[in-house]
Amino acid sequence: MGPMDHDDQYRRVQDNLTRQAEGLIDVSHAIFDRPELRFEEHHAAATLSDALEAGGLTVTRGAFGVDTAFMAEAGSEGPVVAVCCEYDALPSVGHACGHNIIGAAGLGAGLAAAALADELGGRVRVLGTPGEEGGGGKVLLAAAGAFDEVDAAVMIHPADADLLSMSTLAVAIMRATWHGRSAHAAAFPHLGRNALDAAVLGYQNVAALRQHLLPGERVHGIFIEGGEMPNVVPERTVMDWMIRTPRLADLEALEGRVLSCFEAGALATGCTFEHREGGPTYADMMDNPVLAGRFAMHAAVVGRDMVDPGAGGHQVLGSTDMGNVSHLVPAIHPMLQVSPPGVSIHSHEFAAHARSSAGDRAVLDGALLMARLIVDLWTEPDMLTAAAEAFAHQGVDG
């Protein structure tokens, strides 16, 4: 199945983006310059919403019960394509994941597609999806109906290479707490039950577990609370953990093994242990091969050779709530190069590239490639059918 003759439609998309290029880059820089943590992205959400309204779209702010989410739609009938915008930052390193690029590219794609929606008989839904960095914004929005009636969902993400997809892991986020008994550490140590010791033993148990994990499985955590004074036996210790597996279906089993490590530390020290979810569980990303293949064809037009994850030593391994979306509808999450190879996302070095000329190019290329793909989905029923069939064959884990 090859693309139809869309030259005129592609040209009009390009012309639209050329006219708004300066504004899109300004939006990317404005979001970058005021980094906001998950679910605190009031400036970023307002900046994107204002730009959508200036482009003639009606925006629902605080959409789906989430203060910093938004939704804008165009078109009255036909297939619905959702464009996902992310815009939250990270503590300390700001936009080291380049979400300013994601938000601005989604804005551009949405506006360019909206201009052709009624003519081509399609609908576009631009979604502001906050809290990707551990908050599971898309999970919350999906539960509230954001992806109902959606036929496909698209977004792009910056990286150190042009990758057709991201090598994702399903992830469970956990807050683990050990409870002991305080006592004077010198005068009455025998009366204490050391919650810090319990947590340290739990940490060491996980370290022993790691040598028996399957390839791709990851477990990592940090201490949040570990006591207040060295002469007081710590009665409470708190840790945050992330447990990752290549497939969502395998996550529960590994989580059980990790919990056994924590409970053993509590048992050995006479303490008690409890845990709770630290955020929504993220599913693995199931990139739709039909959508990804057509995206790669368009990327070649702008000089981007999209490669599979791991090819040539390039791989971005992590977790995203777009994975949850991909278990609901056909979806893609391609990566566009903004930095030299080997620069890690979530680093200060990568953050600098997110506001560079290469980052600006990714905004404009990402907007163009997504908009061209939306045109295809609206005008080629066979392509949409093929994407749906591929999605059904991929299957959905639990």
Q: Does residue 1 lie within any of the structural domains?
A: no
Q: Which of 332, 366, 391 is nearest to 153 (CA)?
A: 332
Q: Does residue 290 lie within any of the structural domains?
A: yes
Taking each helix axis from N to C terminus, what angle separates 42-54 and 99-114, rounded to the nearest 10 degrees? 20
Based on the fold, state whether residues 161 and 47 are members of the same structural domain: yes
Strands (E), 49-196: 59-61, 70-74, 80-85, 123-128, 152-154, 157-159, 167-168, 170-179
Place of tokens 């003759």: 5
Based on the fold, state whether residues 191 and 257 are members of the same structural domain: yes
d(CA 77, CA 86): 26
d(CA 87, CA 83): 13
Q: Does residue 23 lie within any of the structural domains?
A: yes
Based on the fold, state whether residues 24 and 44 are members of the same structural domain: yes
117: helix, strand or coil:
helix
Taking CA atoms, 367 is separated from 75, 110, 119, 266, 382, in Å, by 18, 8, 20, 52, 24
Place of tokens 């093994």: 257
Task: Give the CATH number of the domain where residue 218 resides.
Answer: 3.30.70.360
Q: Which amino acid is at 123?
A: R
For the segment 186-211, what is each residue's pLDDT rounded down to a tens digit? 999 999 999 999 999 999 999 999 99
Based on the fold, state whether residues 114 and 216 are members of the same structural domain: no
Based on the fold, state whether residues 193 and 143 are members of the same structural domain: no
Based on the fold, state whether residues 190 and 260 are members of the same structural domain: yes
Q: Does residue 269 lie within any of the structural domains?
A: yes
pTM tops 0.85, yes or no: yes
Based on the fold, state whether residues 304 and 249 are members of the same structural domain: no
* Per-residue model confidence (pLDDT) at position 316: 63
200: helix, strand or coil:
helix
Domain count, the chain: 2
Based on the fold, state whether residues 18 and 157 are members of the same structural domain: yes
Based on the fold, state whether residues 27 and 125 are members of the same structural domain: yes
Q: 243, 277, 311: which is the final residue of a domain?
A: 277
Based on the fold, state whether residues 141 and 19 are members of the same structural domain: yes
Based on the fold, state whether residues 325 and 358 are members of the same structural domain: yes
Q: Which domain holds residue 347?
A: 7-167+284-394
Residues sharing a CB contact under 8 Å with residue 288, sequence separation 6 or more, in sequence order: 152, 326, 330, 331, 332, 387, 390, 391, 394
d(CA 159, CA 338): 6
Q: Does residue 15 lie within any of the structural domains?
A: yes
Q: Count CB atoms within 10 A of the CB of residue 343.
A: 16
d(CA 217, CA 393): 25
236: helix, strand or coil:
strand
Q: Does residue 2 lie within any of the structural domains?
A: no
Question: Tell me, what DSSP letter sits at residue 246?
Answer: S
* Per-residue model confidence (pLDDT) at position 1: 39
Based on the fold, state whether residues 252 and 313 are members of the same structural domain: no
Residues of the chain scoring pLDDT < 50: 1-2, 396-398
Cβ atoms of residues 309 and 164 within 8 Å: yes
Helix (H) and strand (E) counts for the chain? Answer: 12, 14
Q: Which of 323, 321, 331 is nearest to 290 (CA)?
A: 331
Q: 277, 302, 333: which is the final residue of a domain?
A: 277
Q: Does residue 193 lie within any of the structural domains?
A: yes
Cβ atoms of residues 309 and 165 within 8 Å: yes
Q: 242, 277, 312: which is the final residue of a domain?
A: 277
Task: Give the CATH number of the domain where residue 132 resides.
Answer: 3.40.630.10
Q: Does residue 352 lie within any of the structural domains?
A: yes
